[in-house]
């Protein structure tokens, strides 16, 4: 790759460019339920009012999703920020593949079907059971089941990971009951299609970044071996757990195994086919390893069934995981990381475990590893393994400690960090904790600003999507908070459709660019902005910078 062209009119600052990604922090549409507005964020507010600032789009088409009704998420957000352009992302690619029939004409789908025909086995679908469109969409699952019936697959089993995070926090039955009716239509025609197991996404199966392999083991035992609390149906399971704890949200629900008089109805056995139908990769890699890795040692799998396993997409192109997949992921190239290495720029990426992969793997265009051992340092701060609402400050102070050392060293020209607080605590739905998380993070922004001032650098503050800015369910027509059965405002745990900040703190600015930032752009414009501030001319096909450079 060629080096970037230098801006002959401006060579950058004496200190580093620091990109701060406040994960899940946006500008709320509603005052009530906006934890960002409710928090004492005095350092951020001071910077926002004194510095060039604008709002950026971080959802829908601005990050490559099918429509502007689709929430942004950390994966596509970091893809966009890292590569400076917008690529069609998982949801859109899968939807197109189903609509055109390309998925079902491909080798992998045909092999899945042929395997069950040859063995007399079942076709299993494991994945996030909602229409949140962040990791998966039920429409995709329904389309595959419909096609399986058309292709003569007699037995289908669904292993439902309950959401309550990208959708309403206690909405599981809103999906399960209609879906059981959908399956009943096939059973009336002589098929045997059932929901076989499940549980909350934060309790089983969907771990990421090696944070908690016990989650994956619980999922494996539940889906594959039929080990777990037994119920006559998925609906019965949800009703029972809810009766025992009315405050339990779907993402934390314990495992359930659907059984009849003979026992579990859907264990995964030799000769079966398995589809993990999430299209997003971060929470798919670990369960995939349990199915595919011959040298797997994270937990005792028991007898590993000989199955034909496929992912909805390839979750890691460098590692070739999974071996079989239904839809080809976007090919994201020429990221800012690649360009900076080609240009001899020393950089650092840092976050805690929960978002470490976002500021490295996703930021680098879904690529594992560094572009250069000599020019890049990646630092992971181990996350606490406690519920985030109980420790909402997370590791923002520790992240800041390491960044301050890096700034003081003078070794780096570009540093990127992710503060996970607004997203990870935002997903809990606990308003007090989210406010605390914002105030904890704001203290660190103050520390970073002072270090940047002393070093003569630039700090760009932004986010990958909204979340903590929208913590209550609202009726779109009345604009009032939705109340639960007890008359209390209903907590919202999903991402928002709100814009996110873009603030440029440049204490040694010499008027190289207009103070008013360009409006109406998306977060992909952060890439060209950072390159401008580093003294480079962004690639011609990168989305334009928020800066209007002076001649």
| pLDDT tens-digit map of 270-304 | 999 999 999 988 899 999 999 999 999 999 999 99
Question: Residue 11: CB partners within 8 Å, gap ≥ 6?
Answer: 535
What is the token pair recorded at 201? 């996404």
The more confident residue out of 549 and 319 is 549
**Strand 155-162 to strand 53-56: parallel, antiparallel, or no bridges (unpaired)?**
unpaired
pLDDT at 237: 98
Cα dihedral: 296, 285, 467, 464 (round 10): 120
Mean pLDDT of 309-335: 87
Q: Which of 138, 191, 181, 186 is nearest to 161 (CA)?
A: 138
Per-residue pLDDT band at 58 (split at 50, 70, 90): very high
Catalytic residue among 49, 67, 74, 233: 74
Distance CA 79, CA 464 (A): 9
The answer on pLDDT for 429 being more than 70 is: yes
DSSP conformation class of 459: E
Distance CA 350, CA 458 (A): 17
Distance CA 9, CA 12 (A): 9
Distance CA 470, CA 324 (A): 38
pLDDT at 317: 64
Q: Which of 42, 48, 238, 52 is nearest to 129 (CA)?
A: 238
pLDDT at 139: 97
- Distance from CA of residue 113 to its chain's centroid? 30
Which tens digit of pLDDT belongs to each residue from 364-404? 998 889 999 999 999 999 999 999 999 999 999 999 999 99
The answer on pLDDT for 80 being more than 80 is: yes
* Residue owning tokens 């989305």: 543
Does this model's pTM top 0.95? no
The answer on pLDDT for 463 being more than 70 is: yes
| Distance between first and last Cα of the chain | 28
The answer on pLDDT for 431 being more than 90 is: yes
pLDDT at 551: 67
- Distance from CA of residue 174 to its chain's centroid? 23
483: helix, strand or coil: strand
pLDDT at 90: 83
The answer on pLDDT for 486 being more than 90 is: no
Distance CA 546, CA 81 (A): 13
The answer on pLDDT for 484 being more than 90 is: no
Per-residue pLDDT band at 330 (split at 50, 70, 90): confident
22: helix, strand or coil: strand
The answer on pLDDT for 53 being more than 90 is: yes
pLDDT at 190: 97
Distance CA 224, CA 116 (A): 16
Give catalytic status of residue 74 as yes or no: yes
Per-residue pLDDT band at 442 (split at 50, 70, 90): very high
With pLDDT > 90 as the criterion, what percentage of the chain qualifies? 85
Q: Which of 317-321, 431-435, 471-475 has the highest mean pLDDT?
A: 431-435
Distance CA 272, CA 43 (A): 56
381: helix, strand or coil: strand
Mean pLDDT of 442-459: 98
Q: Are 198 and 234 in contact (CB under 8 A)?
A: yes
Which tens digit of pLDDT belongs to each residue from 127-151? 999 999 989 999 999 999 999 999 9
Distance CA 219, CA 195 (A): 15
The average confidence (pLDDT) of the chain is 95
Per-residue pLDDT band at 315 (split at 50, 70, 90): confident
Distance CA 187, CA 181 (A): 10
Which tens digit of pLDDT belongs to each residue from 333-350? 999 999 999 999 999 999
Which tens digit of pLDDT belongs to each residue from 185-231? 999 999 999 999 999 999 999 998 788 999 999 999 999 999 999 99
pLDDT at 66: 77
DSSP conformation class of 280: -
Mean pLDDT of 484-507: 92
What is the token pair recorded at 29? 């549409």
The more confident residue out of 502 and 12 is 502
The answer on pLDDT for 69 being more than 90 is: no
């Amino acid at each position: 790759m060629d080096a970037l062209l230098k801006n002959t009119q401006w060579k950058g600052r004496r200190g580093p460019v620091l990109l701060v990604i406040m994960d899940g922090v946006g500008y709320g549409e509603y005052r009530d339920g906006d934890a960002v507005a409710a928090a004492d964020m005095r350092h951020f507010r001071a910077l926002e009012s004194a510095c060039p600032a604008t709002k950026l789009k971080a959802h829908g088409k601005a990050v490559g999703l099918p429509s502007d009704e689709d929430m942004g998420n950390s994966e596509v957000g970091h893809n966009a920020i890292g590569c400076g352009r917008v690529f069609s992302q998982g949801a859109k690619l899968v939807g197109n593949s189903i609509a055109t029939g390309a998925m079902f004409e491909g080798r992998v789908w045909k092999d899945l079907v042929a395997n069950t025909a040859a063995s007399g086995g079942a076709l299993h679908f494991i994945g996030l059971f909602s229409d949140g469109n962040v990791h998966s969409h039920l429409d995709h699952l329904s389309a595959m089941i419909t096609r399986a019936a058309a292709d003569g697959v007699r037995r289908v089993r669904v292993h439902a990971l309950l959401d309550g995070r990208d959708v309403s926090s206690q909405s599981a039955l809103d999906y399960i009951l209609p879906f059981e009716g959908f399956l009943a239509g096939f059973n009336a025609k002589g098929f045997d299609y059932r929901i076989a197991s499940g549980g909350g996404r934060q309790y089983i199966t969907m771990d990421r970044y090696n944070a908690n392999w016990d989650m994956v083991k619980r999922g494996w035992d539940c889906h594959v071996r039929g080990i777990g609390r037994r119920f006559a149906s998925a609906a019965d399971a949800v009703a029972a757990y809810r009766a025992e704890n009315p405050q339990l949200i779907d993402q934390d629900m314990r495992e359930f195994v659907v059984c009849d008089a003979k026992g579990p109805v859907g264990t995964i056995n030799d000769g079966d086919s398995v589809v993990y139908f999430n299209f997003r990769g971060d929470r798919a890699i670990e369960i995939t390893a349990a199915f595919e890795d011959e040298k797997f040692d994270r937990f005792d799998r028991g007898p590993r069934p000989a199955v034909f396993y496929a992912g909805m997409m390839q979750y890691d192109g460098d590692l070739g995981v999974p071996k079989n997949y239904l839809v080809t992921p976007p090919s994201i190239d020429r990221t800012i990381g690649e360009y900076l290495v080609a240009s001899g720029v020393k950089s650092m990426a840092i976050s805690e475990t929960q978002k470490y992969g976002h500021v490295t793997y996703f930021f680098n265009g879904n690529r594992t590893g560094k572009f250069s051992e000599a020019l890049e340092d990646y630092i992971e701060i181990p996350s606490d393994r406690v519920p985030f609402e109980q420790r909402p400050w997370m590791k923002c102070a520790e992240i800041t400690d390491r960044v301050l050392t890096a700034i003081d060293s003078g070794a780096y020209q570009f540093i990127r960090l992710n503060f996970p607080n607004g997203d990870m605590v935002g997903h809990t739905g606990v308003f007090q904790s989210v406010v605390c998380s914002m105030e904890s993070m704001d203290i660190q922004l103050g520390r970073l600003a002072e270090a940047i001032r002393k070093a003569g650098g630039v700090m760009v503050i932004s986010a990958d999507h909204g979340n903590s800015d929208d913590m209550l369910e609202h009726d779109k027509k009345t604009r009032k908070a939705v109340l639960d059965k007890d008359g209390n405002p209903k907590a919202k745990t999903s991402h928002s459709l709100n814009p996110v900040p873009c603030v440029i703190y440049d204490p040694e600015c010499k008027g190289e660019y207009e103070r008013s930032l360009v409006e109406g752009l998306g977060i992909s414009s952060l890439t060209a902005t950072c390159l401008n501030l580093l003294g480079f001319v962004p690639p011609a096909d990168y989305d334009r910078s928020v800066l209007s450079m002076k001649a």
